[in-house]
Structure 1
Amino acid sequence: MAWSVGRVSSFQFNLTNRQNISQASIALQQAGQEVATGRRADIFADLGPAAAGALKLRAREDETQTYLMANELLGNKLSAMLTSIEAIRDQVQDVLEVALSNASSPANGAFVLQSQARAAMESVISTLNVKYNGEHLFAGTQSDNAPMMRWDEANPVTGLSPEDVAAGIAAAGLTDPASATGMAAEFDLVFSSSDAVNPDRNYEQTHYLGTPLTDGAGDPNNRVRARLSPGQELEYGVQANDPGIRDIIKGLSMLISTDVSTIEDETTYQEWMSHVIDALSSGQEGALDASTRIGFNQQVVETSIQRLGDLSVVHLTQIAAYESVDPYEAATRMTNLQTQLQASYEVAARLSSLSILSVL
């Protein structure tokens, strides 16, 4: 009778035991990672084809977080715009109040109107040239450049400064009510950018350097837009060539160009002051409307942020359903692997201590 005895060399046994120890060590490391993080160490191995769902959710969550960051930045930008517009309204209101108190006659400090208007003009222009996060807030889509020329600074294209334009209009002087009406009409022509005879004087040629309201064909230019979420865009912002802002600049220019306290004829004075007050009042109404629109846009952005935050919670909950592990099962598995690894180490230690010399 033939007997077949399987033999395993001590080298082969040691090699197999070493492989078992290596595999158990890797498994123990993964189990420890899962206990520490609460997530699967290898979702592809654990979930198989279902791991694609987790990856898609991760991509959607990354997109949601990108939109959230963009919306928060936009919200801060709108806050800066609103603060600037309110500052402009405050600066102009002081001038308007003095103008109203001197509407009939220059009896209540009209001599300060010219200097007060000049100070307000400098402040308004500085505010309109404000930057946020590297962009000029009131330049429209051409946000790389400051939108407004300084009062006494010559435009490099036209060679004129806003002060030159106003001085040219006021050069004829105010001698009677008709001259006051004519001069006011000339200011209207310039600030509506409708002067075809001398277009260099126009507001959008000399005063303003941002995005024009219309293109060469007379069609409205695009306003600044932001994408709040997939499929939702918001047109927002105020430009320094919007009608309300232009009326403010026009009213201040009219006061700077002429010292109203020197107008001798009372009727002429009243006619001129009525045009100044109309321009400043219209500008204040336009600025208030701009503040209202900015406030509405802020509400839209806040609603978008809340909605994206809720969507993020849903994504994270679904991701957790794919990727999370049972902490008790992971801890038990880690304990079992520790026991297994300890036993393997003990076997390896005993085998290494065996020697033929101890038998002889």
Structure 2
Amino acid sequence: MKTPIILGIESSCDDTSAAVIQGKKILSNVVSTQKIHQNYGGVVPELASRAHLQNIIPVVHQAIQLANINKKAIDAISFTRGPGLLGSLLVGTSFAKSLSMSLNVPLIEVNHMQGHIFAHFIEDESKENISFPFLCLTVSGGHTQIVQVNDYFNMEVLGETLDDAAGEAFDKIGKILGLEYPAGPTIDKLSQNGDKDKFKFPLPKLEGIKFSFSGIKTSVLYFIQKELQKNPDFIKENLEDICASVQKTILSSLLDKLKLAIEITGIKNVAIAGGVSANSELRREIKKLELEKNCKTFIPKFEYTTDNAAMIAVVGSIKYEHNKFSDLKTIATARYKM
């Protein structure tokens, strides 16, 4: 029996991506990142959707070429239905539906957050396969949540942010510090040479598995404004220590809640996913759970942390195996529960 070939399309925010997967083996994964948003310190939805319109055809064409297949070999089209920016999602959804009709192949809708989690099922000989059940800390610029994954289609969100996502907090604090968007990777890099205990920033103490990151932005803003009045060069002279202290505060919240989820559920398989899972300090701290909590930890490859179509394609492949298809009436949705 022929192993199905799935084309995945991701357009939930500011990355246009297409990937081809055969079974769970990635044949190609192309990502076009929109640089224009750096001028504005964050993603501008209207500009993002226009850029997707320009990028989607060449990106899909390149993914098919790199996979070394004919488009007629594609067995199904998987695409991100949501959550995300509606204008961006509409571009990917409309293209996927049109291509599905022209090739006369099934259409498979994918939840973006499920895609991040399912990146752990991409075939990779260099890492151990993850098994059910497992906990996944999914953390990015738009989302922060801990999910209990019982099987492919049985997942429960144990807790999530009440306001801003962790990645959003990194980016907005980076803007306060004069760093380019996206600021998360820069803060991570600068933190390596900083004193993470130099400055203290508060986070609310929330019961249960809940996150809140809006307060730390305000705290950092007032702190910086106060220090700049005393010393106009304060940021320049203390940038590495500020970044390290901010990073420690945000990551401590993520790790404390993840440890609580382990204690509550007793689940010992623990994964991270999403753009912030590329953070080097978070990766080091997650590995420590293997000794501290007697867990097995699973960390995705860097290319599968930020938004990419490989993760959408692997969900498509799994859904194809289980005959879970969508029809042409499906529509993009900015809010899409798992």
Same fold (TM over 0.5): no
Rg comparison, structure with higher value: 1
More strand by share: 2
